[in-house]
Amino acid sequence: MLFYASTYADLNRAAKDKIIILPLGAIEQHGPHLSVSTDTDIVTQVAQQIEKKLPDAVLLCPTLPFGSSHHHLSFGGTISIAPELYTQVLIDLVNSLVISGFKKIILLNGHGGNITPAKQALAVLSKRFDVTHQPTIALATYWEVGGKAFAGEPPMQSPALSHACEYETSMMLHLFADKVWMDRVERAQRPESNGYIPWEDDEPYRGVTVFKQTEFISSNGSSGEPQLGTAEKGKHLVDHAVKALVNFIESFKNWPLSERFV
């Protein structure tokens, strides 16, 4: 059921047992071969498939289509909310849900640039509501929850999901083939590996973080190996993401609410 409660009584009943899912997307350039709506398209489809599998457990909000993508602004088609403002947008949206009475909320994320400002929003919301309203608010990024399927496990041939890569290209070929132009695929020039910073998917995280604008780490706004993308791989990835997220939500719905120990 899409998030439309017709009466206050309906809303109160829903707040007691339903998990709210708010999908987070982005509108940004995805190399020369993918639609700027890629992140929003994929996370929306994943969310809708979760809703079909758990119709009695979740209420699905409309996707927030714009994300924090300032690092892509050098490439045309990007529409971005600055990180500090994106944090505030999420605070306000979740604030509305908590004040309405919802206790369990999942921010289902589909864009890497949203992760840091979303975590900051969770920190502010925890400070604001833990004592007064006691919600449990989770940030779940689909490829991180998806685990090994998004980390080089066959049939994937490159080490991990990055941006406009084998993984995203495959999922879009599966979900929205009309928004993929494989004849335009071009492997981007990238910085040389330095052993510490994963500029795309070439290094594991080793405790060092550097933020750079995309034009400094990609010649065309893509990364990874998009030429390896296939619709079959895309189905494999989407199925694994949905399954992993359904398993998470089945667990999450039974987590006790945050009661104080002192």
pLDDT at 46 over 90: yes
DSSP for 122-182, written as a single string: HHHHHHHHTTTT--EEEEEEHHHHTGGGGTT-TT--SSS--SSSHHHHHHHHHH-GGGB-G
Rounded to an integer, the average pLDDT of 2-26 is 71
Rounded to an integer, the average pLDDT of 147-167 is 92
Return phi, psi of residue 24, to 5°.
-115, 120
Rounded to an integer, the average pLDDT of 211-234 is 83
In the structure, what pLDDT confidence band is assigned to residue 204 with cuts at 50, 70 and 90? low
DSSP for 194-259, written as a single string: -SS--SSSSS---S------GGGT-SSS--S-GGG--HHHHHHHHHHHHHHHHHHHHHHTTSPP--
CA–CA dist 255, 58 (Å, integer): 15
CA–CA dist 25, 2 (Å, integer): 17
pLDDT score of 2: 52
pLDDT score of 146: 96
pLDDT score of 202: 61
- Output the six-digit token pair for 43: 């996370």
Higher pLDDT, 204 or 102: 102
DSSP state at residue 24: E
Helix and strand numbers, DSSP H then E, in the chain: 7, 4
- Output the six-digit token pair for 237: 């990835």
Amino acid (1-letter code) at residue 231:
A
Model confidence, pTM: 0.90
Q: Which CATH superfamily is domain 7-156+238-254 in?
A: Creatininase (3.40.50.10310)
pLDDT score of 11: 59
pLDDT score of 214: 78
pLDDT score of 140: 98
Span of 87-96, 115-124, 154-163 with lowest mean pLDDT: 154-163
User: Where along the chain do its domains lie?
Assistant: 7-156+238-254
CB 224 within 8 A of CB 164: yes
